[in-house]
Amino acid sequence: MENLNTLASAVRQCALCPLSQTRTNAVPGEGPANAEVMFIGEGPGFNEDKQGRPFVGAAGQFLNELLQIAGFKRDEVYITNVVKCRPPGNRDPLPEEIQACARYLDRQIELINPKVIVTLGRFSMARWFPNEKISAVHGKAKRSGGRVIVAMFHPAAALHQQSLRATVEEDFRKLKDIVAEAQRKPEENPADKPPAADQAEQLSLF
Ligand code: URA
Ligand code: SF4
């Protein structure tokens, strides 16, 4: 696994968990190798499994709108998921599937070395905000392993629950400032410190 391309090839051939047996296409993720911001969703859905690309269905359409609100072009951020293969019927990924697939996500984070990681939904949130409730931490930033981590509601949750929509949009509006702040802090080089969830501290600024 030397770079993102070889990693993607490994993911497409992976049989480390049973999701390999039901997938059409694995979905490694997409975006530039030097992206400063990385978005991590839950797992591929129906359309993602068909196309082999992340966030291309209804939730993806909404994510595209949210990215625009935050001032990003979709092709300047990296987008991936906690599990790279679709759980059948879009069920929740199992702990053992998340664990089997973590090696790929870990390596993507290492290779891309983003300044900011945005978690979409509770499965990616759990890694940096253990035992926290998304209703309490959404839109908030914290430092972990030299990066800034921001927890967001999953875009699909806002599609299913109209009342969340304004909240999610407001959180993405704030993301713009959080990213600008992270980019202004060159003294915090993510490469200096390995990610350590237990050393995370709440950012006083946000
Ligand atoms: N939901 C996710 O969590 N990821 C996708 O790629 C699509 C929908
Ligand atoms: Fe491999 Fe991850 Fe797909 Fe499981 S979900 S088969 S670990 S790539």
The full set of domain ranges for the chain reads 4-185+194-204
**Sign of CA pseudo-dihedral 123, 68, 175, 139:** negative
Q: Averaged over 159-177, what is the pLDDT?
A: 95
Q: Beta-strand (E) ranges in 1-138? A: 37-41, 78-81, 116-120
Task: For domain 4-185+194-204, say whether CATH 1.10.10.10 is its number.
Answer: no
pLDDT of residue 2: 75
The reported pLDDT for the residue numbered 200 is: 43
Label residue 112 by pLDDT band (50, 70, 90): very high
Q: Is the shortest distance between the CB of 26 and ligand 2 below 6 Å?
A: yes
Give Cβ neighbours of residue 115 (< 8 Å, ≥ 6 apart).
36, 37, 147, 148, 179, 182, 183, 190
The model carries a pTM of: 0.90
188 pLDDT more than 90: no
Ligand of minimum distance to the alpha carbon of 63: 1
The answer to whether residue 145 scores a pLDDT higher than 80 is: yes
The arithmetic mean of pLDDT across residues 91-115, rounded, is 98
Q: Which of 24, 66, 81 to mutate to test the pocket of ligand 1 (most atoms within 8 A of CB)?
A: 81
Give bridge partners of residue 37 from the DSSP assignment.
Answer: 116
For 19-56, write each residue's pLDDT tens digit. Answer: 999 999 999 999 999 999 999 999 999 999 999 999 99
Counting atoms of ligand 1 from 1, which one is nearest the CA of 79? 6
Q: How far apart are CA 72 and CA 81, in angstroms?
A: 19
Q: Is the pLDDT of residue 205 over 70?
A: no
Ligand number nearest CA of 79 is: 1
What is the model's pLDDT at position 203? 46
